[in-house]
Chain A
Amino acid sequence: MAEYSVIGTSLAKVDAPERVTGKATYGADLDLPGMLWAKLVRSPHAHARIKHIDTSRAKALPGVKAVITAHDLPSLPKGATAPLVGEVSIDMSAIREIVMASDKVRYHGQVVAAVAATDPFIAEEAAGLVDVDYEPLPVVEDVLQAMQPDAPLVHEDLHTLEEATQERSDQPSNVSTHMVYTRGDVEAGFTVADAVVEKTYTTQMVHQGYLEPQACAARVEPNGRVTLWTSAQGHFTVRTQLVTLLGLPASQLKVVPMEIGGGFGGKALALFEPTAIVLAQKTSRPVKLVVSREEVLRATGPGAPAVITVKAGATKDGKITALTTTMRYDAGAFPGSPVARGLLVGLAPYKLDNMVAEGFDVLTNKPRVQAYRAPGGTPAAFAVEALMDALADEIGVDPLTFRQKNAAEEGDTLPLGMPLNRIGLTEMLKQIETHPCWTTPLEGPHRGRGLALGYWIGGSFTSSAEVKINPDATASIFVGTVDLTGTRTTISQMVADELQLDPQDITITVGDTDSAPFADLSGGSRITYTMSAAAHQASQDVLTQLKERAAEKLKVSVDEVEYQAKRFRAKNDTRNEVSLSELARESVAWGSGPIIGKGSTTRMQPAHAYAAHVADVEIDPETGKVTILRYTCFQDVGKAINPTQVEGQIQGGAVQGIGWALNEEYIFDNGELKNASLLDYRCPVALDLPMIETVLTEVPASEGPYGLRGVGEVPIVPPGAALANAIYRATGTRLYELPMNPERIFWATRGNGTNGSPGTNGSGGA
C-alpha cells in the first residue's frame, strides 16, 4: 500500500477555529435586511379532520404580513415522488402533508398553517389567533394495536403492499408494506437444533437530539429566482424536493448550505423550506423560519420504534441452525419506516443457512419517523444480539466464541440477498479475545459484562469534487456535500497527499447549488467513502494537466514526467525539471489558463462496517440505576483517514446508543408527547458516562483508493444489547424493552422480568 504523510494522521479539523470562537454561521444566525419571522401553527390533536381554518383574526394583527394554509401550497398529484438517494424515492404528497396538513391531521403537532410577521413575538401571537375547527378522530398509538383489523385507520385509502408480489390488499390497513425474505429450510434447521430460544423485544420512539433546531430562510430575488438558506443535510436533495413540491424549475432555486448543528438523519427532508419560500413569495420579503426545541421533539420526525420477535436455534457446538424474525416498525403517520434496514442490520453479522426474515411497515398517529443514525439498526440489533446472548447461554458457549463460530465472511450472502465483499468481522472479533476489556476479570457484586455486534451497509450514491491550483501553488477544493462533522478535513487530507502539499496549503469550500458540483445528501456514512474516490480522481486530473504542461516545458513526453516534492522532472534526466510554483504562477498568466481537476463517483459498492461493543456495568440494587464502569468499541474502519475524528464518530455514536438503551424514550398520552423538552427527554450528559475506549481494525474495503469504510453509523447499533447483556450478567434478569431505566430494572429484578413496569404499556411513567 502507498505511503501517506497526511492520510492517517489526526489533522485538526480545518474548520475548528471558527467554531471555537463562535464565528461559524448556522441557519438561525442569518439576519437579512427587512427579514420577517415565521411561526408554524400546529395541531393539538393526534388525529382529527380539519373542518375549517379561519385566518382572519391572525391577518388583522398589526405586523402580520402573511398567513398561509395548505391551500397556498401548489397541489400535488397523489403519489408524486422525488428521488432521495440512489433508487430510493420519497412520496412527496406525504411530505406535502407533513409540511402542511390539508384535510386531516394525523399526529399531534402536525403543521396546519403558518404566519410571517415583523418580529417573533407578533408571529407567535398571530399563530395563536389562527382558528382551526377540528373533528377529533380515534387515535392509534401502539404499533401492535395499529396492526389489528379493527384499529382506527391513519389513512382510510391505504392498502398493504405485498413487497414480493407488488400487490395491494383488498381492505385498507395501517400496514403499509409487508416483506418476507427466506432462505433454506427453517423447520429442518430448528429440528436439528439442541436449543431454541424465542423472545420479543420492544423499543420506544427516540429523537436524534441534534443540538440545533431546524432553521431556514428564503428570499425572492429581483429577477424572480428564489434563494434559500438552510441547515439541511443535503442542499441538492432539498432542491430536488422543492422542485416537486413547489413546481419551481431547479434553475429558479439557489439553495445555500449553512453550517449544520447536527442532523444524524433528521434533517434530510424539506419539511420547513417550502413554507419559508411560500411566505417569502407572498410577502416579497425575506422570511426566516426557526423551530423551537419543543417543536423539534414533538413533530420534526424522530427515530422509529419497533416490536421485534426473534427465534433462533443452535447445536451444542455453537452453530446456528435456523433463525426467524418478525420486525414491526412504527413509521408514524406516513409510510417509510426503516424496517428493511432493520432486517439487514440485525442479521448481517451471521452466516444463516436457514432463515425467514419478515418485516412490517406500520402506521400510527405519531410523527412520521425520519432517519436516525444507522436507521432501523439499533432496535434490530438490540433484539437479535440479546437473543444471541441468551442462545449462547442456553447451549453453554461463551458469547464471543458463539459469534466467532457464526460470523459472516467475505463471499457470504447478506439476508436481503447481496454478497459480502471484503469485511473485517473475523479480524475484529480476534482482537477482542486478547483485549483487557474482555480478559480482565470483572469482580464485585451487581456487576456484569456484555458483548454485542453491530453492522451498517455503508452509503454510496453521488459525490463530486473540483480541485484547482492557485497561483501560489496551493489548492482549493470545491464540493457540494454538507460537512456534518468533519468531512472538510478528511477530504483535505486526501487531496493534500495526492498533490503532495501541506494540509495548510489546501482550502475547501462547500458551495451552493448554483456553483458546486452535484452531490447527494450527507448521511449513511457515505461522504468520506465516496469523496475518497471523487477527490482522488479530481487530484489525478490536476496532476495530469500539470504533467502535460511540464512535458511541454521539459520537451519530453507526458509519460516521462514524474512528480515529487512539488517538482516535475523528466524521469531520465532529473535535472530537467520545472516547479509546481512556476506552473501555478503561469496558470493565471495570459495564454496559459487555469488548472481545474474534476472527480465524481455515483455507484460504489458498499463498504460494510462491523462493530462490537463490550460494556461493564454495575447496578444499584436499591434503585435499579446502571453505572457504566467501562465501555469499549471495536470497529473495522478499513482505513482511518483521521484517527481522532474516527474515534470521535465512534464515541459519539456509542453514546447516542447508550442514551437510547438507558434513558431516552418518547412518552405519549393519546398521541400527545408528554416529554417535549430536553429536561424530560433526557439525552446523556457528561456525568452519566465514562471515557469511551475505541479499538480500530483496519481491513481495507474492496473499493476506493484508500480502503476506508464509512464509520459514523454503526457505533449506535450495538449499545442496546451490549448493555442488556451486561445487565443480565449483573442481575440474572433479562430485559426485553428499552430504555432500561432505573424503574424498569427495579421492577424487572423484582420478578416482573418480561416487559416494563406493572400496569403501564411500558412507558415507565408513574
Chain B
Amino acid sequence: MKQAIELNVNGEPHAALVDTRETLLDTLRYKLGHMGPKEGCGNGNCGACTVVLNGAVVNACLVFAVEAAGADVTTVEGVAAEGTLHPVQQAFIEHGALQCGFCTPGFIMSAKALLERNPNPSEPEIRLAISGNLCRCTGYDKIVRAIQAASQALSQTA
C-alpha cells in the first residue's frame, strides 16, 4: 500500500509517495536522493544510518517512512552549513578518523548530537555516545580523538 507523506529534510520541504513497509532510510535514499545515510545492517545494530528526527538521534532503518510524516529530519548532508564543514567533520578529516568512510555519516551525526548536549564530554562519555555506531576500520582510537578535538574547537568558538 502506498501513502503520500510530507517531511522536511535538512530544512527543505519534501513530498513522497511511500510504501507503508518502507523505512525512512529507504525514502531518504531512494525517493529523496539523500544517499549519505548508509544501510549496514537494516536492523539498528550498526548505526550507519544515524539521522536526527525531530531532535532525537535515531537509526533511520528502524523508522517507517509513514512515521516520519510531518517530521524534521537532519542527515549528514545537512551538517555542513553553506559549504563550511562542521567542526566535527573538520576534526574527523584532520585526525584521520575515517578509512573506508561507510560508517562515517553515522558517526558524524552521533558525535555532533553528543557535543550539542554535552560540549565537554569525557573519554568514557564519548565512547558511550558512539557505542551504537560500528566501525571496522579504525579501532575507534582516532574517532574518539577527533571528537575530543571537535569539542575543544567548539568551546573555543563558543
Q: Which residues of A contact B (CB under 8 A)?
A: 10, 12-13, 15-17, 19-26, 28-29, 31, 119-121, 208-213, 259-262, 264, 292-293, 484-486, 644-645, 647-649, 651-656, 677-679, 683-687, 689, 691-692
Tell me the nearest residue of chain B to A22, going by C-beta: B36
Rounded to whole angstroms, the CA-CA distance of A689 and B134 in the bound complex is 13
B98-128: CB near A (< 8 Å → 1, else 0) gives: 1111111100100000000000000010111
Tell me the nearest residue of chain A to B105, going by C-beta: A22
Let me know if A17 and B93 touch, CB within 8 A: yes
Q: Which residues of B contact A (CB under 8 A)?
A: 19, 21, 26, 29-30, 34-43, 45-46, 48, 75-77, 79-80, 85, 89, 92-96, 98-105, 108, 124, 126-128, 130-145
Q: A31-B30, A211-B134, A678-B134 are in contact. Are A261 and B37 (CB under 8 A)?
A: no
Chain A residues positioned under 8 Å from B102 (CB to CB): 26, 210-212, 259, 261-262
Question: A25, A293, A645, A686: which contacts B96 (Cβ < 8 A)?
Answer: A645
Main secondary structure of the interface of A (DSSP, over half): loop
Rounded to whole angstroms, the CA-CA distance of A23 and B35 in the bound complex is 7
Let me know if A209 and B136 touch, CB within 8 A: yes
Let me know if B99 and A21 touch, CB within 8 A: no
| A265–chain B nearest beta-carbon distance, Å | 12
Let me know if A10 and B45 touch, CB within 8 A: no
Question: B26, B76, B100: which contacts A262 (Cβ < 8 A)?
Answer: B100
30 contacts between A and B (CB under 8 A): A16-B92, A17-B85, A17-B93, A20-B76, A20-B85, A20-B93, A22-B34, A22-B35, A22-B37, A29-B29, A209-B136, A211-B103, A212-B38, A213-B39, A261-B101, A262-B99, A264-B136, A293-B43, A644-B96, A647-B141, A648-B138, A648-B141, A652-B138, A678-B40, A678-B43, A678-B46, A686-B130, A687-B131, A689-B140, A692-B139
Let me know if B85 and A652 touch, CB within 8 A: no
Let me know if B99 and A486 touch, CB within 8 A: yes
Chain B residues positioned under 8 Å from A684 (CB to CB): 139-140
Chain A residues positioned under 8 Å from B36 (CB to CB): 21-23
Other CB < 8 Å A-B pairs besides A485-B137, A648-B141, A692-B141, 5 of them? A13-B93, A28-B38, A121-B21, A484-B99, A686-B133
Let me know if B98 and A20 touch, CB within 8 A: yes
| B153–chain A nearest beta-carbon distance, Å | 14
Question: B42, B103, B142: which contacts A293 (Cβ < 8 A)?
Answer: B42
Tell me the nearest residue of chain B to A209, going by C-beta: B136
Chain B residues positioned under 8 Å from A120 (CB to CB): 26
Q: A677-B41, A678-B45 are in contact. Are A262 and B75 (CB under 8 A)?
A: no
Let me know if A21 and B76 touch, CB within 8 A: yes
Q: A28-B39, A213-B39, A686-B127 are in contact. Are A20 and B92 (CB under 8 A)?
A: yes
Tell me the nearest residue of chain B to A263, going by C-beta: B100
| B93–chain A nearest beta-carbon distance, Å | 4
Tell me the nearest residue of chain A to B101, going by C-beta: A19
Chain A residues positioned under 8 Å from B128 (CB to CB): 686-687
Q: A20-B92, A20-B108, A683-B134 are in contact. Are A691 and B76 (CB under 8 A)?
A: no
Let me know if A655 and B93 touch, CB within 8 A: no
Let me know if A689 and B92 touch, CB within 8 A: no
Let me know if B137 and A652 touch, CB within 8 A: yes
Let me know if A683 and B136 touch, CB within 8 A: yes
Rounded to whole angstroms, the CA-CA distance of A213 and B104 in the bound complex is 15
Chain A residues positioned under 8 Å from B40 (CB to CB): 211-213, 261, 293, 678
Nearest 3 CB-CB pairings of A with B: A22-B36, A261-B102, A19-B101
Rounded to whole angstroms, the CA-CA distance of A4 and B75 in the bound complex is 41
Question: B94, B139, B145: which contacts A12 (Cβ < 8 A)?
Answer: B94
Chain B residues positioned under 8 Å from A24 (CB to CB): 101
Tell me the nearest residue of chain B to A25, going by C-beta: B35
Rounded to whole angstroms, the CA-CA distance of A28 and B101 in the bound complex is 14
Tell me the nearest residue of chain B to A259, going by C-beta: B101
Rounded to whole angstroms, the CA-CA distance of A644 and B143 in the bound complex is 12
Chain B residues positioned under 8 Å from A210 (CB to CB): 100, 102, 136
Chain B residues positioned under 8 Å from A692 (CB to CB): 139, 141
Rounded to whole angstroms, the CA-CA distance of A16 and B93 in the bound complex is 6
Let me know if B131 and A686 touch, CB within 8 A: yes
Rounded to whole angstroms, the CA-CA distance of A15 and B35 in the bound complex is 17
| A510–chain B nearest beta-carbon distance, Å | 14
Chain B residues positioned under 8 Å from A17 (CB to CB): 85, 93
Which of A262, A484, A653, A689 has the most chain B CB atoms inside 10 A of its CB? A262
Which of A24, A29, A120, A686 has the most chain B CB atoms inside 10 A of its CB? A686
| B3–chain A nearest beta-carbon distance, Å | 14
| A22–chain B nearest beta-carbon distance, Å | 2
Chain A residues positioned under 8 Å from B85 (CB to CB): 17, 20-21
Rounded to whole angstroms, the CA-CA distance of A29 and B48 in the bound complex is 14
Let me know if B137 and A648 touch, CB within 8 A: yes
Tell me the nearest residue of chain A to B80, going by C-beta: A21
Chain B residues positioned under 8 Å from A259 (CB to CB): 100-102
Question: B38, B96, B139: which contacts A654 (Cβ < 8 A)?
Answer: B139
Let me know if B142 and A211 touch, CB within 8 A: no
Chain B residues positioned under 8 Å from A22 (CB to CB): 34-37, 75-77, 105
Chain A residues positioned under 8 Å from B26 (CB to CB): 120
Rounded to whole angstroms, the CA-CA distance of A655 and B135 in the bound complex is 10
| B16–chain A nearest beta-carbon distance, Å | 14
Let me know if A691 and B141 touch, CB within 8 A: yes
Let me know if B140 and A686 touch, CB within 8 A: yes
Tell me the nearest residue of chain B to A120, going by C-beta: B26
Let me know if B48 and A211 touch, CB within 8 A: yes
Let me know if A686 and B142 touch, CB within 8 A: no
Chain A residues positioned under 8 Å from B140 (CB to CB): 651, 655, 684-686, 689
Which of B19, B80, B104, B136 has the most chain A CB atoms inside 10 A of its CB? B136
Tell me the nearest residue of chain A to B36, going by C-beta: A22
Rounded to whole angstroms, the CA-CA distance of A8 and B127 in the bound complex is 30
Let me know if B139 and A652 touch, CB within 8 A: yes
| B132–chain A nearest beta-carbon distance, Å | 8
Tell me the nearest residue of chain A to B22, going by C-beta: A121
Rounded to whole angstroms, the CA-CA distance of A209 and B134 in the bound complex is 10
Question: A20, A685, A689: which contacts B104 (Cβ < 8 A)?
Answer: A20
Rounded to whole angstroms, the CA-CA distance of A683 and B89 in the bound complex is 25
| A674–chain B nearest beta-carbon distance, Å | 16
